[in-house]
Amino acid sequence: MAKVTIDGIEIEVPDGTTILNAARMIGGKIVPPAMCYYSKLKHTGGYCRTCLVKVVQGSAKDPRPMPKLMVSCSTTVQDGMVVQNITSPDVLEARKGVVEFLLINHPLDCPICDQAGECKLQDLGYEHGLEKTRYEFKRRTFEMIDIGDKIKLHMTRCILCYRCVRVAEQLTDQRVHGVMNRGDVAEISTYISNVMDKDFSGNVIDVCPVGALTDRTARFRSRIWYTKPMDAHRDCKKCCGKVTLWMKGEEIIKVSARFDKNNEVENFICNECRFDKKKKEDWVIEKPTHIAHHSVISANHYENGKELKMGHHHLEQLNAVTPPAKDKNMLPPPKTK
């Protein structure tokens, strides 16, 4: 076991734990953002550089600080290590630069993007970004393509986090897409117009932190904050069958995997559950999905009915003072002095 201090909070973690995962064990605002690292997938992290932290003390045996900012997703903790994240002005300034770099080619199409409301780049830009860009050159653009009948690829929005590549490598029986070219012309694409039709390939939609990969079956059907997410399950022979149904009334707009507190998929689901089971009777609905209060999706989202009960209680108090009219069309006249 190793003791590490992050932003003044000490925690003891197993040997080999990364700084990022140690911060996640503590929780709260001290957790560095991560756009490419994914704990459920192997060989992720180190691409986006948003999780940079400052190691002011390497360990108890060697208290010297590390000479530069370190990526917390791949740097393992040492006993006695002291780390600064939000308490370091150097880290916050560097993170602003990273966000500015990620947004250089990213289009400002949040009003028409299906990922709006659940986009991690939106949150990152709001929390750490700048109000305007210094970039004056022409941005790179790509044509939208369909990589199969269920997935839409909008490469202009991609930040090259490589998550979708790792999903295809580790969950499907054959990867047909990847990063083509290098440098400023690198892009996610399929080889000679192949399609992503392998089972479990739909999980690339859930792991994508931006709106580069979206569900064609749910595209432009509703804004995410107008839907009501519900935990549901079914007896599936391919996967766990535990999903989140994004419903609008009695209609299922889309089906996704369930996410944990770190916004990572708890259990990957098959394409049949995701794309083919869009009827309410296909599922056993459990309860409303827990949504963090800072998310715009939490607006008018009641998880336990407490808010509604408070509303009814307040209404009863008002009725005790002024009894409601028997006929809703016959309202009592206003009182006059």
If one looks up domain 2-90 in CATH, what number appears? 3.10.20.740
Element (H, E) at 167: helix 163-171
Q: Percentage of residues in the chain with pLDDT exceeding 90?
A: 58
**What was the pLDDT predicted at 283?**
95
The two three-digit tokens of residue 142, written as one number: 């790509």
Average pLDDT score over residue span 98-118: 88
Start-to-end C-alpha separation, the chain: 76
Helices 120-128, 89-102: axis angle to 10 degrees equals 130
**What was the pLDDT predicted at 305?**
52
Burial 125-151 (b: 16+ CB within 10 A, else e): beebbeeeeeeeeeeeebeeeebbebb
Backbone angles phi, psi at 258, to 5 degrees: -85, 150
- The Cα 56–Cα 79 span in angstroms is 13
**What was the pLDDT predicted at 287?**
92
- The Cα 201–Cα 37 span in angstroms is 19
Q: Is the pLDDT of residue 208 over 80?
A: yes
Are β-strands 284-288 and 228-233 bridged in parallel, bridged antiparallel, or unpaired?
antiparallel
Q: Is the pLDDT of residue 302 over 80?
A: no
Average pLDDT score over residue span 248-258: 94
- The Cα 17–Cα 77 span in angstroms is 6
| pLDDT tens track for 131-170 | 778 888 888 888 898 888 899 999 999 999 999 999 999 9
- The Cα 175–Cα 107 span in angstroms is 28
Average pLDDT score over residue span 41-55: 93
The two three-digit tokens of residue 314, written as one number: 């307040």
pLDDT tier for residue 275 given thresholds of 50, 70 and 90: very high
Q: Is the pLDDT of residue 115 over 70?
A: yes
Q: Is the pLDDT of residue 245 over 70?
A: yes
Q: What's the 3-state SS for 199-256?
A: CCCCHHHHHCCCCCEEECCCCCCCCHHHCEEEEEECCCCCCCCEEEEEEECCEEEEEE
Average pLDDT score over residue span 80-91: 95
Higher pLDDT residue, 257 or 183?
257
- The domain spans of the chain are 2-90, 110-215, 224-298
Q: Is the pLDDT of residue 184 over 90?
A: no
**What was the pLDDT predicted at 308?**
41
Whether the CB-CB separation of 4 and 83 falls below 8 Å is answered with yes
- The Cα 288–Cα 244 span in angstroms is 9
Whether the CB-CB separation of 48 and 163 falls below 8 Å is answered with no
Element (H, E) at 22: helix 19-26
**Architecture of domain 110-215 in this structure:** 2-Layer Sandwich (3.30)
Higher pLDDT residue, 294 or 24?
24
Higher pLDDT residue, 21 or 175?
21
> Which residues, listed in sequence order, are joined to residue 81 by a DSSP beta bridge?
4
Least-confidence region, from 211-225, 250-264, 265-279, 311-325: 311-325
Whether the CB-CB separation of 309 and 303 falls below 8 Å is answered with no
User: What does pLDDT average to over the chain?
Assistant: 86
- What is the pTM for the complete model shown? 0.82
